[in-house]
Every structure is written in structure tokens, then in C-alpha cells.
Amino acid sequence: MTRSELIQALNQRFPRLTQAEAAAAVAAMLAAVDETLASGGRVEIRGFGSFSIQVQPPRLGRNPKTGESVAVPSKKKVHFKAGLALRESVDSACGTRAPSRRL
């Protein structure tokens, strides 16, 4: 699903919203997630999943062309962990029903 499809789905689900209002709502939500992650925070949407930042430590890599060792600096990456409800929904929709485990 793309951003425009999400806006369209929001607009169909809530007909009182104009297309511009739906676009503003999606933009505001994505901006809030972006700002929180950029400041090092964590975003959790119950039943859907959580977004967090993981630090990838520096490592020694190789240049595939020359085989020379290259120092790869540390970097941050976004990690998403799906929530239980989302995992179960996807499993049931795909026909593979895994037993639910609550931790």
C-alpha cells in the first residue's frame, strides 16, 4: 500500500473527511513517527507493532572488487517488530495458523 492508497482508504472509511484532510492526517502521523525515531525514541502502536532504532556497530568489510579491507562506520537503522494481533491476522489470512504465544 502506498501513501496515496492509504489516504484514499482513510477517505473512504471516513467520508466526512476531505481528501486534503485525510492527506494532512497521514502526513501528521508519519511526521510524528519520523520525529520520534530521529530523536532516539520508540513508537509503539498496540496491536500493530513497534518501531525502534538499533545501532549497528562499526565493522570491517571488504571491497568486493579488490578484496581490500574497508572500515565500515557505525550506523543506526529502523527496526520494526510486528505486534501479536498483526502477526495473527497475517497468519490467518495466509492460511497458516501458528499457535499464539503470549510472553
* Domains in the chain with CATH codes: 3-94 (4.10.520.10)
Give the span between the Cα atoms of 59 and 4, in whole angstroms: 39
Q: In the prediction, which pLDDT does 87 show?
A: 92
Query: Under a CB-based contact definition with an 8 Å cutoff, are residues 25 and 13 in contact?
Result: no
Residue 26: phi and psi, rounded to 5, are: -65, -45
Q: In the prediction, which pLDDT does 93 show?
A: 85
**Which tens digit of pLDDT belongs to each residue from 22-78?**
999 999 999 999 999 999 999 999 989 999 999 999 999 999 999 999 999 999 999
Q: What is the DSSP string of 5-45?
A: HHHHHHHHH-TTS-HHHHHHHHHHHHHHHHHHHHTT--EEE
Give the span between the Cα atoms of 74 and 37, in whole angstroms: 17
Query: Under a CB-based contact definition with an 8 Å cutoff, are residues 57 and 74 in contact?
Result: yes
Give the span between the Cα atoms of 45 and 48, in whole angstroms: 5
